[in-house]
Amino acid sequence: MTIKDIKEKGFLLLECISGSKAYGLNTSTSDIDLRGVYYLPKAQFYGLDYIPQISNESSDEVYYELGRFVELLIKNNPNILELLASPEDCILYRHPIMNSLHMDLFLSKLCKETFAGYALTQIKKARGYKKKIVNPIDPVRKSVLDFCYVLHGYHSVPLTEWLAKNNFVQEQCGLIDMPHTKGLYALFYDTNNTLRYRGIMSSDLANEVSLSSIPKGEKEIAYLFFNKEHYSSYCKDYKEYWEWVEKRNELRYQGNSEHGKGYDAKNMMHTIRLLQVAEEILSQGLLQVKRSNREELLSIKAGDFEYEDLLLMADALMSRIEKAYYASPLPTHPDKEKTEAILVKMREELYG
């Protein structure tokens, strides 16, 4: 079953333009996203090949099987509630049977967790983005050597500096553990390179220092400390950063770089939008997908606000959401049994 099959074989129940167009926030560079609802052929629904969701490769077209759609509505999933509440000018097709699913069946206090909770994850995402922008990691990966230090009196000297100053190479160094210590080693040097020490590290990708067999009578020339915890933390940050660079949307990244505020402006726009929607649902009992404050939200997307000011705005919205939650006449959760009965009736009508 493909999206094409759904449409050509008459199983489509709802198809809408979603995303920025539905929010009234689209610009000349905005993509067009499609969301929809379908039902399966009777044999497939009752058989073993139930398909809850179908999407294209880029996931800008996503369609939900009727049962999955209702399940997510009951959970007050923001994307699914917004699909049901799509503005008229964004509805491309709507089967009459979809009139059985009224928004009043689903709006509940649970929206505080789903809308506002999701918004908070966007704030966290924006914080992580800001951290990566402000603290880029050099593409040349550091090695164990960069996290080793040679003790010198009451101080320590970076190993790389110490090696250069003494015209030593790490391959001719030998290390042995110091008893009852962590990360501390006695360092020996094979000037003539005849003792076959293993060096301080075996390769640039080594995660540990190398230990050598030291002949009796050899005298250590220094003591070395390897900060393994710092090295492990660096390796994790390096991996995460360059995976992020590989996967990031370059056009979006360049746009965020241009405004120079060091945060993901699009994420913050949707954060504020979601919080505003949550407040409206709890205080007014309405879900308005198309936003009346288009200019404000697009200004956030353009990076016109300082990051700290947006966090203050989000905090103020969260405070109002908390008050609206306790005063709201909405039910705590949608009525699952009532909705399930409506779903069964819809299927009976669809399958005859």
Tell me 147's DSSP state.
Answer: G
Place of tokens 């399940």: 71
pLDDT-derived band at 251, boundaries 50, 70, 90 = very low
Instruction: List the one residue out of 157, 33, 144, 49 whose CA is nearest residue 86.
Output: 33
What helix, strand, coil percent values describe the chain, rounded to 5? 50, 15, 35
pLDDT, position 255: 46
Lowest mean pLDDT among 202-206, 212-216, 337-341: 202-206
| Domains of the chain, CATH where assigned | 1-106+334-352 (3.30.460), 107-136+249-330 (no CATH), 144-231 (no CATH)
pLDDT-derived band at 257, boundaries 50, 70, 90 = very low
Tens of pLDDT, residue by residue over 86-140, are: 999 999 999 999 999 999 999 999 999 999 888 877 776 655 555 555 567 888 9
Instruction: List the one residue out of 255, 283, 282, 281 whose CA is nearest residue 269.
Output: 255
Q: Cα(206)–Cα(289) distance, rounded to whole angstroms?
A: 53
pLDDT, position 256: 45
Lowest mean pLDDT among 69-73, 119-123, 339-343: 119-123
- Spatial neighbors of 211 by CB under 8 A, at least 6 apart, are 175, 176, 177, 185, 198
pTM: 0.66
Beta-ladder partners of 53: 64
Residue 79 contacts residue 35 (beta carbons within 8 Å)? yes
Q: What is the mean pLDDT of the chain?
A: 90
